[in-house]
Chains A and B, each alone.
Chain A
Amino acid sequence: MDTFFITIGVILGLLTLACLYRVVGGPTVIDRIIAVGAIGNKATAILLLMGMIFGRLEMFVDIAISYALLNFIATLGAAKFFRVRKSIIPGSKYLKEKGIS
């Protein structure tokens, strides 16, 4: 059963690397935000799988809870910030008025 957990953890790690492509090369800022949110979801699952592999799930559960909470708060904060400051699209009207790019 440890082999199964390690296999699932490796698959989720490869999917996290695939999400990192969208973080690096996303056209707009909110693409990066949702990619970071997806990485956070996978990281919560990977932390629980690590707890099963090490046999100390009662310790890793608390780390996973705090990771899920931080992921949610970070996504909400970034969404609110970029909603107020309308500078999401590269080359948009707001950025041209400000003289940036």
Chain B
Amino acid sequence: MSVMSIVSMLFIIGGTFFFFGATVGLIRFPDFYARMHATGKGDTLGAFLVVIGIALYNLHNGLELGSILTSIKVVFIAIFIFLANPTATHAVTKGGLDSGVVPWTKEKTK
């Protein structure tokens, strides 16, 4: 158990926690916009933390050229998720707003 593997385990466990929170929000929230609020942030950070943790654990055997290149590719996935996921969230929310999905308010539950 090197320091690198412990740090990557912490990253992966934190990412799984954020995935869990996003899924609970996706299932239990009452409205499309509220579900978007849960998954748009929780999934982004969860995927980022899990992928960064895997990129760190890939380097725990020592720094060779092949594993460094693989880790750089994995970090590219993390950067792409961090850019693309909020863009998709914005596009879907704008699509729902333009096609007339009414936001949930407190009066509807009574």
Chain A residues with CB under 8 Å of chain B are 1, 4, 8, 11-12, 15, 18-19, 21-22, 28, 30-31, 33-35, 37-38, 41-42, 44-45, 48-49, 51-52, 57-58, 61-62, 64-65, 68-69, 72, 75-76, 78-80, 82-83, 86-89, 92
Contact = CB atoms under 8 A, between A and B. Distances in A.
Determine the main DSSP class of A at the interface with B.
helix
A37 to B, nearest CB: 6
Contacts, number: 146
Contact of B23 (A38, A45, A68, A78): A38
Given A76-B88, A83-B94, A52 B57 contact: yes
Contact of A83 (B36, B54, B98): B98
A22 B27 contact: yes
A64 to B, nearest CB: 6
A21 B27 contact: yes
Contact of B73 (A42, A61, A78): A61
A52 B56 CA distance: 12
Interface in B54-78: 54, 57-58, 66, 69-70, 73-74, 76-77
Interface residues of B, number: 48
Given A35-B26, A38-B26, A61 B94 contact: no
A76 B91 contact: yes
Contacts of A79: 88, 91-92, 94-95
A42 B50 CA distance: 10
Contacts of A87: 99
B46 to A, nearest CB: 7
A80 B91 contact: yes
Interface of B: 5, 9, 12-13, 15-16, 19-20, 22-23, 26-27, 32, 35-36, 39, 43-44, 46-47, 50-51, 54, 57-58, 66, 69-70, 73-74, 76-77, 80-81, 84-85, 87-89, 91-92, 94-96, 98-101
